[in-house]
Every structure is written in structure tokens, then in C-alpha cells.
């Protein structure tokens, strides 16, 4: 019987994670009317269950790329936008990304604000499976228009002048090959 010898040097394996392939461009969710802040997973944790969701200057990176798939909102890292389960019916419940599992805390709907329109500038409320709206929390840890402002869920208000629940969804076209955008 042949005896195995250990390697004379350490062996290191690297695991490279690539984002999932999408047939259509992802979209970005703008929070501010000037489209300067986007829904964002805290980087570099976007690949990790429990990574928190915030607003950040729109920059085209993968932590700001999202898709609606079967009633879920999925990050480019393949995680689902998730309301922390024990808090999903409470105002101020924290948002995170988590492995997609089909639970109520990962279900989302879009609701037009005002008259429905086909414009990419149509404002929406993004409503959780528990009936709460995606809301920028302007108190913790930063004011609503600052990088790092926390995104939570809160009772949906019907006042269109309250920007903290108003989202604009547009294609993330800068992630496409310039030749494929016109196909």
C-alpha cells in the first residue's frame, strides 16, 4: 500500500463568488427626488445573511442592483430583501438581506403613488407581506438624506408629500453592455 505524503507547502483554496446571471437589467430604487440616493446593502457584507439595508449615493455597484422575482426583491448577490422576522409587524422593523425562503417577511408589492403611469419616474410605495411600507428612517443612525440612513418598514401613509416612503424604480442600464441596451 502506497503511503500518502503531505504537501511540503500549505495549500490555499479561494472561493470566488460571482453574481447570478440575469437575462434583463437589474433596477435601482431611488429614494430622493433628485435620484442621488439608492437602496443599498451594506458592502462588503452583501453576500452575508443579516447584512443591513440602507440608502447610499447611487454608484452602480452590485449592492444597489435589485430584481422583482416571484413577489420577492432580490439583490444582485442572490439574497432576498427581508424584514427581521420577529419584528415584521412593528414600525421601525429592520431590513436585511437573507437567503430566499418564500416567507412572508420576504414578500413585496409595488403600489403606485397617485395616478398609475408608464413613466420610469412614477413614484411607488414598496409594501411588505405584513402590509408595512419600505421607509427611510431619518433618525437612526443618520438623517434620511445622508449615506448610511437605515431603511425600515413603517405603517404606510397616504400622504404623497412624505418622501421617506416614496421610491422610484429605474433600469440599472449602466450595468449592461452598451451594445445590448437597444436590443
pLDDT in tens, 62-92: 899 888 889 999 998 999 999 998 999 999 9
- Quick one: which of 29, 23, 15, 31 has its CA closest to 164? 31
pLDDT band at residue 109, thresholds of 50, 70 and 90? Answer: very high
What's the whole-model pTM score?
0.76
Which of 167, 152, 164 minimizes the C-alpha distance to 52? 152
Contact 91, 137 (CB under 8 A): no
The structural domains of the chain, with segments of one domain joined by +, span 27-170
Quick one: how far is CA 69 from the chain centroid?
12
How far is the CA of 183 from the CAs of 38, 104, 123, 124, 178, in angstroms? 26, 36, 26, 27, 10
What does residue 130 show for φ and ψ, rounded to 5 degrees?
-90, 5
pLDDT in tens, 15-49: 334 455 555 666 777 666 667 888 999 988 999 99
Report the alpha-carbon distance of residue 22 to residue 18 in Å, rounded.
12
- Domain 27-170 carries which CATH code? 2.80.10.50
pLDDT at 60 over 90: no
Whether cis (ω within 30° of 0) applies to the bond prior to 20 is: no
Amino acid at each position: 500500500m502506497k503511503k500518502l505524503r503531505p504537501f511540503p507547502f500549505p495549500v490555499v483554496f479561494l472561493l470566488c463568488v460571482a453574481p447570478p446571471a440575469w437575462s434583463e437589467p437589474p433596477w435601482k430604487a431611488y429614494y430622493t427626488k433628485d435620484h442621488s440616493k439608492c437602496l443599498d446593502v451594506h458592502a462588503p457584507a452583501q453576500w452575508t445573511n443579516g447584512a443591513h439595508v440602507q440608502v447610499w449615493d447611487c454608484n452602480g455597484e452590485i449592492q444597489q442592483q435589485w430584481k422583482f422575482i416571484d413577489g420577492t426583491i432580490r439583490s444582485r448577490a442572490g439574497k432576498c430583501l427581508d424584514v427581521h422576522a420577529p419584528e415584521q409587524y412593528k414600525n421601525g422593523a429592520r431590513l436585511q438581506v437573507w437567503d430566499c425562503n418564500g416567507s412572508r417577511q420576504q414578500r413585496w408589492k409595488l403600489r403606485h403613488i397617485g395616478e398609475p403611469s408608464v413613466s420610469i419616474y412614477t413614484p411607488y410605495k414598496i409594501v411588505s407581506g405584513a402590509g408595512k411600507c419600505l421607509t427611510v428612517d431619518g433618525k437612526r443612525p443618520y438623517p434620511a438624506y445622508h449615506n448610511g440612513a437605515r431603511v425600515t418598514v413603517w405603517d404606510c401613509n397616504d400622504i404623497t408629500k412624505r418622501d421617506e416612503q416614496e421610491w422610484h424604480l429605474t433600469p440599472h442600464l449602466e450595468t449592461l453592455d452598451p451594445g445590448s441596451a437597444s436590443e
